[in-house]
Structure 1
Amino acid sequence: MRLSTQPDWQYLVRDFYELYQTGSAGGSSKIRSHLAEVRRLLGKVFEDDPTIVEEEAVALPVCDHLSRALSNATGHRTAKLARSLDAVRDHLRWQYGYEKVPKGLTQKYGFTEIMGPRGPIFSDRIILGFVLFGPKTTYPAHSHKGITESYYCVSGNVSENDVGVYAPGSLIFNQAGHSHRITTPDREPSLLAWAWVGTAETLVNNKMTFAKT
């Protein structure tokens, strides 16, 4: 099946596009360029009308917090994106992505991809997804070689590298190779939408590893 025949997936991608269209770059030329590149690539996705491959859904323990995280987006500029994610939640494959996951993280973390080389919406130039954290989570330091990354905070609050607190609607920008560590509040989950931009080879062959401590 094609993207053009699946309204729920179309809405989800359009709501992603809208975030990157209306979000501020804060005067940063590098962030402005990244926002524009994400929009360009998503525009190309709509032109190409890629296939959608819906595989059997996979849940992780952290998914127990998903309903709360989606509800907490109400009243924020990310609410529409949260509703669109909710519409396809029964088709999502949640995963850890790392060969070795710290024991304390298995109950509090998981991500799902909605677009990329592995689908469900095919693209070999951009990956879109969501990462869900339970309360009181520390996501260890890691980086992505050759991949420019941005997070939009959908709900909850997070801190990256202890340099600030990002509320719903905030953008976090990580240039390729930048090491980053994320922490979440004590009582509420946090849901982030993310985009990776890189070459087709880099996106297909990316290996997720935590920094050695």
Structure 2
Amino acid sequence: MNALLRAYAQAWSQAGVPKLAALIGTIEAPDGLLSPEDQVPASLKQDYDQAVEALTVFPKLKQQLSRIGDRLPWMQGAMRMPASFQGRFAYVELAGPTGMIAISDIRFGLYLQQHDTVYPSHWHEAVEDYLIASGTALWQVDDAGFNAQPPGTHIKHASNQPHATTTLQDPLLAMWFWQGDIRNSTYRVVGVDA
């Protein structure tokens, strides 16, 4: 697990975000966090395998995800989502209040979105950084149009800034980082009552 954290930090550094890389680099994982079996939801297994295979911009991250990524606790979350998005994404909170590594003031992890999927506009109090690992996704911030964001792209969302993501033929695998007010209770999605 610590090799995955080092590869994760190195990817942020490579993308030109040294402050996040340095912060992540200080975190150590205790032993015994990995499941002995595959934890990727069955409906997303093919997309997960395709996304890891396509991961070329961060080779050390690919190496670690190929080795242990499917044994991380991938989940689809308890937050309400539109029916069109349910079951089409999964995430891992590597560190945070409910993460594999308990940390109270930040959250970070991995995000997988199935191919041909719209993640509708949503927002939250947390300041959010995304780093695309594999798959070119269409990204919208505020009310601007959707723009293609290829692997290696760093995207930052301000607190309560609406954003949406659409995948086409390729699944999206991204790294995410929350800071500031990281409570999940501040998360809202267009078309879903609070």
How high is the TM-score relative to the length of structure 2? Answer: 0.83
Higher helix share: 1
Are the aligned partners of 1:51 and 1:122 in contact in 2 as well (CA < 8 Å)? no
Are the aligned partners of 1:149 and 1:176 in contact in 2 as well (CA < 8 Å)? yes
Question: How do residues 7-156 of structure 1 correspond to structure 2 at under 5 angstroms?
Answer: 9-24=1-16, 35-45=17-27, 49=28, 51=30, 54=33, 58-60=39-41, 61-73=43-55, 76-145=56-125, 147-156=126-135
Are the aligned partners of 2:92 and 2:110 in contact in 1 as well (CA < 8 Å)? yes
Are the aligned partners of 1:160 and 1:183 in contact in 2 as well (CA < 8 Å)? yes
Cα RMSD (Å): 2.2
- Offset from partner CA, 1:77-118 (integer Å, 9 cap, x none): 223212212322243222222432222222421111112122
Are the aligned partners of 1:79 and 1:154 in contact in 2 as well (CA < 8 Å)? no
Question: How do residues 184-199 of structure 1 correspond to structure 2 at under 5 angstroms?
Answer: 184-185=167-168, 187-198=169-180
Structure 1 residues 96 and 107 mapped into 2: Cα distance closer, same or farther (>3 Å)? closer
State whether structure 2 residue 152 is matched by structure 1 residue 176. Answer: no
Q: Which position in structure 2 is the counterpart of 1:206? A: 184
Q: Sequence identity, in percent?
A: 23
Are the aligned partners of 2:6 and 2:25 in contact in 1 as well (CA < 8 Å)? no
In 2, distance between residues paired with 1:36 and 1:169?
Answer: 14
Structure 1 residues 40 and 63 mapped into 2: Cα distance closer, same or farther (>3 Å)? same
Structure 1 residues 52 and 62 mapped into 2: Cα distance closer, same or farther (>3 Å)? same
In 1, distance between residues paired with 2:95 and 2:4?
Answer: 10
In 2, distance between residues paired with 1:90 and 1:12?
Answer: 12
Letter in 1 for 2:45: C
How high is the TM-score relative to the length of structure 1? Answer: 0.76
In 1, distance between residues paired with 2:134 and 2:9?
Answer: 18
Q: Which position in structure 2 is the counterpart of 1:5? A: none
Are the aligned partners of 1:148 and 1:197 in contact in 2 as well (CA < 8 Å)? yes
Which segments of 5 or more consecutive residues in structure 1 lack a partner in the other structure? 1-8, 25-34
Higher strand share: 2
> Offset of 1:50 from its aligned partner?
5.1
Are the aligned partners of 1:53 and 1:121 in contact in 2 as well (CA < 8 Å)? no
In 2, distance between residues paired with 1:118 and 1:51?
Answer: 15
> Offset of 1:22 from its aligned partner?
2.3
In 2, distance between residues paired with 1:16 and 1:39?
Answer: 8
Structure 1 residues 131 and 50 mapped into 2: Cα distance closer, same or farther (>3 Å)? closer
Letter in 2 for 1:41: L
Letter in 1 for 2:179: V
State whether structure 2 residue 139 is matched by structure 1 residue 160. Answer: yes
Are the aligned partners of 2:134 and 2:173 in contact in 1 as well (CA < 8 Å)? yes
Are the aligned partners of 1:127 and 1:195 in contact in 2 as well (CA < 8 Å)? yes
In 1, distance between residues paired with 2:132 and 2:102?
Answer: 24
